Structure 1
């Protein structure tokens, strides 16, 4: 179960559509390499179903984006993801991971880049984008 005191939540309404995810991360500096541990619960359950795989890939892509912007090495343990099916998709989850990492580590990412990513996330409900995995470096859905 998510520890709501330590989970990071992002929620916005844009064009009448809710965008929401909550992620609990444990982040520690290390001296050797970046490591993401992704054995976690999704909405309170151990879930590796096909429908959840794009969500997990979106989360990993968000973390990989922020790791690429840091000059330090980090170990990130994803503890839990809460993401309502009707209000979340891989881009929203990945963006929430980006913001959670920034908040916990205090790394600096250009505000203009973050604004562009947020606008990109709002496009994630258009067409079939909600089923695709975001590329936060190129701002495309794959």
Structure 2
């Protein structure tokens, strides 16, 4: 699983929750997206090495909603809080956390984090064959 799998999971959930609202992964060019639409942006991604081959991946997203009233933005934010609790990705589901929202310059910003653990492949090596020990009593 990688960052694009998480992003695709967010797009699928937005399409399920709001089929009539357009969705973009890149900023729409001038003249496109004049209607109500979402823009999904990765704010920050990271990886922290844990034990052995385990890593914790962190992904902080800002989902923008353009061209709607404040009242509608607040209602959509409430739907996103429950709707983004889980998204579907290859191999299962991810849980959204750290959700919060605000309206800045008539644009809803909905912030959500998707964090998960990954195991890197163990390099092939020679396994231990025998071990000799001596015990002096």
Q: TM-score, normalised by structure 1?
A: 0.29
Flag the structure with more relative contact order, 1 or 2, with Cα contacts below 8 A and sequence separation at least 6: 1
Structure with the bigger percentage of helix: 1
Structure with the bigger percentage of strand: 2
